[in-house]
Structure 1
């Protein structure tokens, strides 16, 4: 039935009222260029103690990356996703949090966990293949290292929302790579966080590649930070190799979340200097010239230049930072070279607080098989001694 056929010849549909946006998007938009501090007038307000601590952690982090990569070549780690070139973002993310706050890392963020105070051996346990998580998340306020892309983001929102409902002074910082922003979990997490005004900060380390897929083949957005506007939260764009800038931007976002201002999406422009993991051949999808260009924007080099130029760091300070990093690497190497003692029954120890009937049955089956194997080995040994 057409409009003309409806009862009443003069009937016409009433047009809807004029639509008005509920939020002015302008304050939510990121800066046109990544925010920088080092090498600008903004560096005049830097806290010398904080900058020296950042520098020491960057040097330590670079050595940690090198040692962990070496352990894969020695067969002591199954895989290691290096963060060489991204140390400024990793370290700043750890240092902006208060003790009661939570860090939600991805699989590439072991350095952030170590910078937050986690034992390096425990941080690498997952990548060694011993345990799903080698540490107590509640003790360290660090969620399990997340291998599936972006699934840690809704977890961070849930924890932050629950803390807000209980009145706890807790902020969650969720880390993800540029590849993770293409996952549905990313969009769901941002939407829920903005609607609930959850005290959570989403920190995207845009290192240029989702394994081998360049950013241009993932998104047509002006930047990943621009995606924040669609959810009704601020987006911030920062130079991810500028440790001072990352620390300042994340600190602002954490303060906003803690004061009830809701979530923020921070995109750090950085670069993965090494391959995706030790199992990857990065030369198949990027050239040496691109990598070399980023070496001039090395996060350690940038901060070292600033600190030495201001007379805050000298050769003795540089040497001390390197020696402390070497001590850490030596201890890590020594402990990782010791064979772990593993109990197959641990498979069932931490699945549920109270084991289900099915799990108990499976545990008994495994125990019977292990006992049978042990008995068979004993018989073989006895026969071999005759």
Structure 2
């Protein structure tokens, strides 16, 4: 009889469809995506890479506030969102703004969110989502609650949430997956394992060989997937969604991925805790390069098409940052008004003081 841990490790071996060279290694599970859908997913990945580059530049210029780079995680983020329906509910972490944008958040509002403007946190009426969660792992508990609400209302939709490898060390992570499992709620929990929670490597976060196996304790399904493989991420998300809406319960998906930039633009220096050899190893797994090779082999993608997407992204970003610049500045009274439905006495006094200052 094999040791229990050895069996668990084998059970959670990484799932993959498209390898680093853009070759199919799992023909049976290739998702049923049309040529147009494959191209659309590629467009979104390229667009988001440009958005990341421009956002970093805008942050350095002082035109954006908080920003968490996303380059390297496009397959994990966008292929999972691509498998969702419009009425599914997204509960993102702070690095997951791209999913919100492609689900319907206007780009200028994403920029306002970065600046701390309240309008950046006001989701459009047709967008089922919360604003990005800054507290590590807190969205997991919220996702369990949203999913349970969907179940009680008889909705055929799912609640989808994301955290990083460091988020699995938080109590909210366990509480969220346990509650969803206990109530068989239609939730999909993503752990985007980019191997470093800021500067702490994943092997110091946990003794578990995979993060996917943490699903066992909650009695829910779990899987580890190549997070640089858009086809695998899409296929697994689609499977998890179908299970959930059919009453088969929640699922924990660990995507093995990598962030090419710093944790955030707030002074993090990844060269202090990541080696050049490690960076080079993951550069070879770039999800965009991999997917490009696959589409070119199918005669579905060209350099001209990619350049067109790049120029379109730059133009959209230019217009969006201009709109964000022109949006009415947030006032102190705006902040106070948005804190409470009914202001306590001390804030009522402050409100009057600031109204008088702002009127001058």
TM-score under structure 1 normalisation?
0.84
Corresponding residue for residue 219 of structure 1:
206
Corresponding residue for residue 197 of structure 2:
210
Corresponding residue for residue 69 of structure 2:
82
Change (3 A) 1:194 1:332: same
- Separation in 1, partners of 2:107, 2:68: 14
2:243 is equivalent to residue 256 of structure 1? yes
Change (3 A) 1:29 1:370: farther
- The secondary structure found in structure 1 opposite 2:57 is helix
Tell me how far 1:119 sits from its aligned partner.
0.9
- Separation in 1, partners of 2:286, 2:253: 20
- Separation in 2, partners of 1:236, 1:37: 17
Contact 1:63 / 1:329 at 8 angstroms: preserved in 2? Answer: no
Corresponding residue for residue 184 of structure 1:
171
Task: Return 5+ residue gaps in structure 2 as ranges.
Answer: 1-6
2:43 is equivalent to residue 52 of structure 1? no
- The secondary structure found in structure 1 opposite 2:26 is helix
Aligned ranges for residues 1-386 of structure 1 at < 5 Å?
A: 30-38=11-19, 39-42=23-26, 46-47=32-33, 48-131=35-118, 133-136=120-123, 138-278=125-265, 279-338=267-326, 340-370=328-358, 374=360
Q: Which moved more, 1:340-349 or 1:328-337?
A: 328-337
Contact 1:29 / 1:234 at 8 angstroms: preserved in 2? Answer: no
Change (3 A) 1:35 1:113: same
- Separation in 2, partners of 1:330, 1:137: 21
- Separation in 1, partners of 2:324, 2:353: 32
Tell me how far 1:316 sits from its aligned partner.
3.1
Per-residue CA distance 1:158-214 (angstroms, 9 max, x = gap): 111012112122310011111111100001001101001111000111011000000
Q: Which moved more, 1:297-306 or 1:308-317?
A: 308-317
Q: Which moved more, 1:39-48 or 1:289-298?
A: 39-48
Contact 1:163 / 1:169 at 8 angstroms: preserved in 2? Answer: yes
- Separation in 1, partners of 2:10, 2:173: 19
Per-residue CA distance 1:115-139 (angstroms, 9 max, x = gap): 2121122123222122284322654
Taking only aligned residues, the RMSD between alpha carbons, in angstroms, comes to 2.2
Tell me how far 1:52 sits from its aligned partner.
0.9
Tell me how far 1:321 sits from its aligned partner.
2.5
- Separation in 2, partners of 1:31, 1:226: 7
TM-score under structure 2 normalisation?
0.90
- Separation in 2, partners of 1:271, 1:214: 12
Tell me how far 1:335 sits from its aligned partner.
3.1
- Separation in 2, partners of 1:99, 1:355: 35
Task: Return 5+ residue gaps in structure 1 as ranges.
Answer: 1-25, 375-386
- Separation in 2, partners of 1:27, 1:253: 20
Change (3 A) 1:275 1:193: same
